[in-house]
Amino acid sequence: MIADTVVADQAPASTRNWAGTHLIADPARLARPRTLEELRTLVRSRSGPIRILGARLSCPDLLDARPVLAVDLTGLSGVTAWSPARVTAWAGTTLATLNAALGRRGQRVDASPPVIATQTIAGAIATGTHGQGLRQSTIGDAVTALWVMDGAGDIRKVTEDDPDIGGYSMHLGALGVVVKVELRTVPNQTYVCERTCVDADDLVSAFTMAAADSEFAKAWWFPADRVAHIWRLRPATAAEARLHLGGPGTATPLGARDSSINYVVDGLVRKLSTDTRTAAGGRPQFLTVERFRDFHDSVGDAHGILCKGIPVPQINCEIGIPLASMDAAHAELSRWYEEHAPRMHYPFILRATGPSRAWMSPAYDEPTLHYGTVVYLPERGPCAQDAMDALDDVQSILARHDGVPHLGKYFNPQVFGLVARPSVQRFTALRDRLSTRHWLPSDYLDSILIHSPAEGGHGGQPDQVRGRRGGGAH
Ligand SMILES: Cc1cc2nc3c(=O)[nH]c(=O)nc-3n(C[C@H](O)[C@H](O)[C@H](O)COP(=O)(O)OP(=O)(O)OC[C@H]3O[C@@H](n4cnc5c(N)ncnc54)[C@H](O)[C@@H]3O)c2cc1C
């Protein structure tokens, strides 16, 4: 049995995704339980299927609960237990709440922070949310136990030695209602983040070295300007740590400012302003680019340095390829960029992670390089079609390098043909064995897991896939 006490706020549930761009729930069929008992009663007395919602940051297709009862789990929030290297929290606790509680105890979750922390723990695990660093993988890989409610309202504890932990570590909301999670924690160290710029021709070697040598490393590749910006984090010396003036979750600037890529920032701001039909200024999408202006090193904890995303309505797409394929994939992406000069709003974001045990993760079983791209949405009207075409091209190219998409983000299922992957088949078999499809149905998941052989072979040519699917903004 687990204790039936939760820290619940009274906020009403929303019928829209986080950005407000998509209706994902019918207002007449939306519940927000505030205790475990309320949730159990709801599951036991339901007259049909349900869909669980966390912070609603994922691709709207994954979340769309309009045909069924939407159950918002953000009311089940709060830390419930501590031990020296473990923390237990309700599934609807946001990463920000968890991080703050851990930070006060000098701890953090044993996984790299993603770029934002408004996700719920269960939602982040569900979609394989990850940060960067070869010595760790997804947040789900830090799970030591989950408590999962079945369709009869009964709860089962799944531990890390369970043979199905690879399924639960990235559960896609398809294996039951996750009500509580126990995660491994580590001491919250202070790091120095060294920031540099390299010529695009040197990106592969510079990034590979940074990823191998540092606890956390990431890069932004600006193909139009043929430069890349690299962050690498190393533990701070005692003297450097004393220069950190803030507490947990903050970072302090260090050293001189570098203006060498300010011209790149100017160019991107102009392009973004035209494409999103928005005057340049303090709007969030411009701030995401302005961060590269006058860059400098910093000292702080992992969250303070890495969790710096600025949530802006966007189409967010990320494909993981085996890290060993980076050289070939990068060469092909570079050629494609030179030939097509595609419209892109943002640099490619490169993050490498270690192998994941999660069957559905792009990083399953091997070190993986995640290529991220973003198309920002205009204030009014549809997304520029050529920006969407560029997104489709990138997916096709990376699919040819054994790419697998981040399933919480936008992607074109027909490019990847996930059905053929043995690890996906294993997940589908577990879903069938648990018989969850009748009470947690998802046509979207079925279309990816059961009905999506790749069209035109594994990863078609760019022109073969263009325009096949509209933009599901999230
Ligand atoms: C601006 C932005 C930045 C992002 N940055 C990153 C990043 O750095 N790294 C990264 O990997 N991803 C990133 N993402 C993706 C994000 O982490 C995922 O979409 C994550 O799932 C969001 O968690 P959530 O609480 O919003 O879950 P939701 O989007 O609400 O739900 C996701 C899935 O989990 C299921 N679910 C939720 N709670 C439960 C539960 N208790 N039990 C069972 N199923 C449940 C839902 O049914 C759904 O299938 C980003 C997204 C945005 C919009």
Distance of alpha carbon 102 from alpha carbon 83, whole angstroms:
11
Which residue's CA is the closest to the ligand 1 atom numbered 10?
Answer: 129
Among protein residues, the one with the nearest Cα to ligand 1's atom 32 is: 123
Confidence of residue 49 (pLDDT cuts 50, 70, 90): very high
> Does 154 share its domain with 254?
no
Please report whether residue 12 resides in a domain: no
315: closest CA among 124, 61, 81?
A: 61
Rounded CA-CA distance 91/177 in Å is 9
CA of 399 to the centre of ligand 1 (A): 23
Note whether residue 21 is domain-resident. no
In a shared domain, residues 101 and 165: yes
Helices 203-213 and 326-340, interaxial angle, to 10°?
A: 140
What is d(CA 85, CA 108) in angstroms, rounded to the nearest whole number? Answer: 10
Residue 241 and residue 303: Cα distance in Å, rounded?
A: 15
Contact 54, 14 (CB under 8 A): no
**Are 120 and 76 contacting, i.e. CB atoms less than 8 angstroms apart?**
no
- Please state, in angstroms and rounded to a whole number, the distance separating the CA atoms of residues 115 and 129: 10
Report if residue 142 sits inside a domain.
yes
pLDDT at 95 over 90: yes
Instruction: Report the C-alpha gap between 406 and 395 in whole angstroms.
Output: 11
The answer on pLDDT for 271 being more than 90 is: no
Contact predicate 226/200, CB 8 Å: yes
SS3 state at 33: coil
| Count: domains in the chain | 2
Same domain, 353 and 306: yes
CA distances 211 to 94, 297, 352, 371, Å, are 28, 17, 7, 14
**Same domain for 52 and 177?**
yes
- Find where tokens 């430069």 sit: 227
Instruction: Ligand 1, residue 172: give the atom nearest the CA.
Output: 49
Kindly give the number of the ligand 1 atom that is closest to the alpha carbon of 310: 1
Q: Does residue 432 sit within a domain?
A: no
In this predicted model, which residue has the larger pLDDT, 393 or 308?
393
Q: What's the CA-to-centroid distance between 346 and ligand 1, angstroms?
A: 22
440-470 pLDDT tens trace: 999 999 999 998 777 654 444 443 333 333 3
Using the mean position of ligand 1's atoms as its centre, give its distance from the Cα of residue 131 in Å.
Answer: 13
CATH number at residue 85: 3.30.465.10
Q: Report the pLDDT value the prediction gives residue 199, as an integer from 0 to 100.
A: 96
Q: What's the confidence (pLDDT) of residue 14?
A: 87
State the DSSP code for 377. Answer: P
Q: Are 269 and 124 part of one and the same domain?
A: no
Same domain membership, residue 243 and residue 121: no
Q: Which domain covers residue 285, as residue numbers?
A: 191-413
Per 3-state DSSP, the chain is made up of helix, strand and coil in percentages (nearest 5) of: 30, 25, 45
Number of residues that this document lists for the chain: 474
Last residue of a domain, one of 161, 187, 213: 187
Q: Are residues 221 and 344 in the same domain?
A: yes
Same domain (yes/no): 241, 275: yes
What are the strands, taking DSSP E only, across 262-353? 295-300, 314-322, 348-353
- Mutate which of 17, 58, 404 for ligand 1? The one with the most ligand atoms within 8 Å of its CB, which is 58
Distance 124 CA to ligand 1 centre (A): 5
Question: Is 470 a domain residue?
Answer: no
CA distance 393 to 395: 5
Kindly indicate the confidence band of residue 279, based on its pLDDT and cuts at 50, 70 and 90. Answer: low
Nearest protein Cα to ligand 1, atom 8 = 114
Q: Is residue 447 part of a domain?
A: no
Strand (E) or helix (H) holding 109: strand 107-109
In ligand 1, the atom with minimum distance to the C-alpha of 445 is 49
Domain stop point among 139, 158, 187: 187
The model's pLDDT over 325-384, given as tens digits with 9 standing for 90+, comes to 999 999 999 999 999 988 777 899 999 999 999 999 999 999 999 999 988 777 667 777
Name residue 302's beta-bridge partners.
none
To the nearest 10 degrees (0 to 180), the angle between helices 326-340 and 385-399 is 150
The residue-averaged pLDDT of 53-78 equals 96
- Assess whether 197 and 306 both reside in one domain: yes
20 lies in some domain? no
Ligand 1 binding pocket, CB closer than 6 Å: 51-58, 62-63, 73, 91, 114-116, 119-120, 122-124, 126-127, 129-130, 172-173, 177-178, 309, 311, 316, 406, 408-409, 474
Looking from the CA of residue 173, the nearest atom of ligand 1 is 44
SS3 at position 325: helix
Same domain, 136 and 278: no
203 and 154, same structural domain? Answer: no
Q: How confident is the model at residue 410 (pLDDT cuts 50, 70, 90)?
A: very high
Question: How far is Cα 366 from Cα 236, in angstroms, rounded to an integer?
Answer: 29
Percent of the chain with pLDDT over 90: 78
CATH number of the domain bearing residue 237: 3.40.462.10
The confidence band for 281, taking pLDDT boundaries of 50, 70 and 90, is low
92 in any annotated domain:
yes
Residues 72 and 204 in one domain: no
Confidence band of 436 (pLDDT split at 50, 70, 90): very high
- DSSP annotation of 224: G
User: Distance of CA 64 to CAs 324, 434, 437, Å?
Assistant: 36, 22, 15
DSSP state of 138: B
| Residue 397, Ramachandran bin (φ over 0: left; ψ between -120 and 50: alpha; else beta) | alpha
Please tell me whether the overall predicted TM-score, pTM, comes out greater than 0.85 for this model. Answer: yes
Q: Which of 22, 64, 120 to mutate to test the pocket of ligand 1 (most atoms within 8 A of CB)?
A: 120
Among the candidates 187, 215, 250, a domain finishes at 187
**By mean pLDDT, which of 266-270, 362-366, 402-406, 434-438 is the weakest?**
266-270
